Chains A and B, each alone.
Chain A
């Protein structure tokens, strides 16, 4: 699996955009980037995934650099309920086996 690196923690003000970076410099051409989040004492929640193009859904946007070595998850208008640990994962093979790193602990401030 391609290794990912994320900041340990971040914070942002409620209503502002939260931009969470992830480095995956060893990613190969056919590997997807997945983002999940985990709110305290709950199972992880799928957010978004992408391969090369930028992706957007009702939860977030995913911006992947042209060389695919890094990506940014954007929560356009963060709310207090977005406080969670965010995980950037590159599964690496067709088994969809997800290996969780430490993630980024996002705190949304009132």
Chain B
């Protein structure tokens, strides 16, 4: 299957700082990428849909000013958690759609810990 990478895989930061997470589709062009968050023992929760060259669409209850999404190219989307707080500690996962195959491929996830 297609490969989606995330960087970093793990990050620890201090409260009040901002953290950027990158999501790359390595062997296909993804016009649409998605960002999810997963708390321990819970299912994935969709945060936003990221479309190349346009503003992201956020799910209800997700603060767009706190979770900044940029999809500048067909292979890269970034999620920036601004002014992170301990409650933002979570597993952040991105996915990218390969329209030709009708499939969506997920990255390995980024574990964010805010101290």
A interface residue numbers (CB < 8 A to B)? 32, 34, 36, 38, 41-46, 49, 85, 87, 95-103
Contact = CB atoms under 8 A, between A and B. Distances in A.
A98 B43 contact: no
A46 B104 contact: yes
Interface stretch (B11-19, B69-77, B80-88, B106-114): B106-114
Contacts, number: 54
A79 B43 CA distance: 23
Nearest to B97: A96
A44 B49 contact: no
17 contacts: A34-B104, A36-B106, A38-B44, A41-B91, A42-B108, A44-B95, A49-B102, A95-B32, A95-B49, A96-B102, A96-B104, A97-B34, A98-B34, A98-B46, A99-B46, A100-B43, A100-B45
A34 B104 CA distance: 10
A43 B104 contact: no
Interface of B: 1, 4, 6, 32, 34, 36, 43-46, 49, 91, 93, 95, 97, 99, 102-109, 111
A97 B46 contact: yes
